[in-house]
Chain A
Amino acid sequence: MRTKIILALGAITLPFLLRNLHMIIFLVPDDLEQGPVYRIFYYHLPPYFVAAMGYFTAMVASILYLVKKDQKYDAIAVSATEIGLAFAAVNLITGMIWGRISWGIWWAWDARLTWALIGWLVYFGYLVLRRAIDDPTERAKISAVLSIFASASVAITYKAIEWWRTQHPGPVLSIRTGGGTLDPAMENMLYENTLALLLLGAIFLLVRLRQEEVQREIDGLRRFVHAGN
């Protein structure tokens, strides 16, 4: 059943992503000041939305794990974190390429960039930490606590452009500014690509969750095989 859902989602998502790519390159209006390089925006902000959704899912699953002690929630937390990291890496690297043209530098120790990087490093540390703990219950408990603390970095990253006015531009989406900062055609394209990338993230999550289940089955069979030796 899950394979069918993954295939169905894939059949919707791939054409959606390709259609968006075509529109982003050829159809959305140009930015007068920046030229075509501003189109990186469509692969810079939406991946962070997906990453933040992944981190948020991990936080909720971590709380549920601590309350219910069910390994299923630990599997959701680790899967969502890994996917969040992949999308956050896209956000950081596309931001660097865009910054090279817009600001003339690859990186600035600006509040938004720095917090996004800190968040990425903390979640990467979460995955490394998990590999260092053998006992599944202990691993799930410690990583759940870390995930809940790490989620603060997502909220700080989101608010950084309001709290500290440094290099990174302030909010541009009409849901935060009340409108007037971004052409509606550009903003709509941004939401459409966010939706496409969210669907891609959902596919990754379903695949990754299945892998966690298989891994647990493997661990159980290993214990059974070794118990008899």
Chain B
Amino acid sequence: MDERNITFMFYGLAVAWGLLALYAVLLGLRERDLTKQLDTLKRMVEEKK
């Protein structure tokens, strides 16, 4: 492979993978937060009954 501007090639690839990985992590964190909220509310509803 020609080595001109190879650093910038890696910057580009790293940014693409990094942003998509970051979005996947954010989705995971949101999923965890929603599951916690849902469990708490279900417990509250059970107690109310």
Contacts and interface: CB of A to CB of B under 8 A. Distances in A.
B9 A40 contact: yes
Contacts of B19: 86, 89-90, 93
Interface in B1-46: 1-6, 8-9, 11-13, 15-17, 19-20, 23-24, 27, 30-31, 34-35, 37-38, 41-42, 44-45
A97 B5 contact: no
| Chain B residues touching A, majority SS | helix
Contacts of B30: 211
A214 B35 contact: yes
B5 A39 contact: no
Interface residue tally of chain A, by bracket?
A: 35 or more
Contacts, number: 99
A100 B44 CA distance: 56
Contacts of A214: 34-35, 38
21 contacts: A21-B13, A30-B1, A34-B4, A35-B3, A36-B3, A36-B5, A36-B6, A37-B4, A37-B9, A39-B9, A40-B9, A40-B16, A86-B19, A93-B15, A97-B11, A97-B12, A98-B12, A211-B30, A218-B37, A221-B44, A225-B41
B8 A207 contact: no
Interface of B: 1-6, 8-9, 11-13, 15-17, 19-20, 23-24, 27, 30-31, 34-35, 37-38, 41-42, 44-45, 48
